[in-house]
Amino acid sequence: MKGVWTTDHVREAENRLLARVPDGSLMRKAAFGLATVALRMLDPGVVGRRVTLLVGAGNNGGDALWAGAFLRRRGVAVTAVLLAPDRAHPEGLAALRKAGGRVTTEGHDAVRRADLVIDGIVGLSARGPLRPAAAELVELITAPVLAVDLPSGVEPDTGVVNGPAVTATATVTFGCHKPLHVLGEGAKRSGEVHLVDIGLGPELGEPDITVLEPADVGRLWPVPGPSDDKYTQGVTGVAAGSATYPGAAVLAAGAATLATSGMVRYTGPAADPIRARWPEVVATGSIGDTGRVQAWVIGPGMGTGPGGRDVLTQVLEAGVAVCADADAITLLANHKDLWDLREPGTPMVITPHDREFARLAGEVGDDRVAAALRAARRHDVVVLLKGHSTVVAAPDGRVLVNPARSSWAATAGSGDVLSGLIGSLLAAGLDPWLAAGCAAAAHELAGELAADGAPIPAGSLLSEVPNAIRVLRAAAASVSP
């Protein structure tokens, strides 16, 4: 698992560390790590190559200047462009000058001619987009960009970009990952993220956000043991689909069927198409005939009329884990009394996109993590907020983010597959926060495998679920003894 810490927590940890290490040692460590990545990006041949540093007013610029001094000593031609000449880090500036680096306040030529640009404009204290002078220079960049801590112009705690910002080829982050590296636009703009250890680890405490690595997901995925049968692994119930939208039921039930080897039961008007596509699913027309399940997936294509409300009532009263998606979320937003039907402590995951979320808990806004946490606490559920980076928040404050490599999975029916995956992991007994996180990871990977660079229908994503699970389990096997 990879931890991510907010800027407030990083600063507190840094202050504790700064209090017990010699002055300047942290910045030199950070800058040395930065220079090492820069040298790798310049390779082959570093002598005489041109590196331009964009240097802002704070310690982020200081890191760039110290890294410039290291690079200069390796024979690199380094030019520092000072965006706030009066406030440039004095020791860093002196170190660069001593090493023979050039310093200027007129950066157009230096940026145009660079083989590599190092973005030290602004770091953890960044607020808002790039200011005009910096934005103008950044516009001129054609070389690869190495960002110091974060691509300048991106909001550090949300990953939001509200104006001109740097797009980095790679980013060097000091001490730990920060929210922007895994969230939305910030994750895209960071490029490849390299973590440089500056000794912050012992000061950090519990992460604010967790990112599951493929090996974590592979390790958590349910595998039947020698004494298991179709019931002991958890039976998933799927209540979905309608005469108008039978496909949603076929996709959700299919995902539950492929995700684990426990049994799947279906109830609803799409029993015939389900039987035709998934003969292994036990399909009935009415929830009263369905038999016992350990978790329900409810909502996709179900409709928001009295029929849907009635099924949702029965599902909530069943006292088993629930994954509520799509129309079930709208029903919960429209009929607040439905929440009271849940047995306290029964695991529940809801999977809204932004519009569904707004109906339930107000506009998402820029801070997706805060929004998901707010709804999770208000309703005592795990909230999986869909988006380019999926955010999964639990009522106890745990937050998990699943950053996506591409957006191919943003296609009709894709959400039905996701809810089926979550339901089957709930039925298998996984903690609901982890169930949602593992399902999001497998879903994203299945989309990536299916797309392979071209658009895909949700059915193709579904077909890749077994391969995605194989890849995740192989990742787990390769790291455990």
Does the protein bind ligand NAX through residue 18 (CB under 6 A)?
A: yes
- 3-state DSSP helix/strand/coil % of the chain, to nearest 5: 45, 15, 40
Does the protein bind ligand NAX through residue 190 (CB under 6 A)?
A: no
Binding partner at 119 among ligand NAX, K ion, none, C-beta below 5 to 8 Å by kind? K ion
Q: Which residues bind K ion (CB under 5 A)?
A: 119, 147-148, 152
CA dist., res. 159 & res. 106, Å (int): 30
Q: Look at phi and psi of residue 345 and say left if phi exceeds 0, alpha if psi is from -120 to 50, else beta.
A: left
The string of DSSP letters for 230-242 reads TTTT-PEEEE---
Q: How far is CA 301 from CA 278, 340, 366, 387, in A?
A: 18, 24, 29, 20
CA dist., res. 219 & res. 198, Å (int): 30
Token pair of 122 as six digits: 């602004």
In angstroms, what is the minimal distance from the CB of 121 to ligand NAX? 6
By C-beta, is 228 or 366 nearer to ligand NAX?
366
For residue 59, say whether it is annotated as part of any ligand binding site: yes
Handedness of CA 409, 411, 416, 419 (dihedral sign): positive
In the region spanning residues 95 to 154, those forming contacts with ligand NAX, defined by CB under 6 A, are 122-128, 130-131, 148-149
Token pair of 108 as six digits: 């157009």
Does the protein bind ligand NAX through residue 56 (CB under 6 A)?
A: yes
Binding partner at 127 among ligand NAX, K ion, none, C-beta below 5 to 8 Å by kind? ligand NAX
In angstroms, what is the minimal distance from the CB of 124 to K ion? 9
CA dist., res. 22 & res. 406, Å (int): 43
Binding partner at 114 among ligand NAX, K ion, none, C-beta below 5 to 8 Å by kind? none
For residue 152, say whether it is annotated as part of any ligand binding site: yes
Does the protein bind ligand NAX through residue 174 (CB under 6 A)?
A: yes
Binding partner at 216 among ligand NAX, K ion, none, C-beta below 5 to 8 Å by kind? none
From 22-30, 35-43, 348-356, 385-393, give the range in contact with ligand NAX by CB under 6 A.
Answer: 22-30
From 60-68, 274-282, 358-366, 382-390, give the range in contact with ligand NAX by CB under 6 A.
Answer: 60-68
Does the protein bind ligand NAX through residue 427 (CB under 6 A)?
A: no
Q: Look at phi and psi of residue 391 and say left if phi exceeds 0, alpha if psi is from -120 to 50, else beta.
A: beta
CA dist., res. 44 & res. 423, Å (int): 50
By C-beta, is 172 or 373 nearer to K ion?
172
For residue 400, what are the β-bridge partners? 210, 392
Handedness of CA 4, 8, 11, 16 (dihedral sign): negative
Question: Pattern 192-221, binding to ligand NAX, x per CB under 6 A?
Answer: ------x-----------------------
By C-beta, is 1 or 133 nearer to ligand NAX?
133
3 state SS of 171 = strand
Q: How far is CA 154 from CA 24, 25, 26, 147, 206, in A?
A: 26, 27, 24, 11, 24
For residue 125, say whether it is annotated as part of any ligand binding site: yes
By C-beta, is 37 or 434 nearer to ligand NAX?
37
By C-beta, is 130 or 209 nearer to ligand NAX?
130
CA dist., res. 368 & res. 158, Å (int): 7
For residue 60, say whether it is annotated as part of any ligand binding site: yes
CA dist., res. 137 & res. 270, Å (int): 58
For residue 129, say whether it is annotated as part of any ligand binding site: yes
3 state SS of 163 = coil
Does the protein bind ligand NAX through residue 179 (CB under 6 A)?
A: no
- In the complex, the residues that contact ligand NAX under the rule CB under 6 A are 14, 18, 26-27, 30, 56-61, 63, 122-128, 130-131, 148-149, 174, 198
**What residues form the annotated binding site for AMP?**
386-390, 415
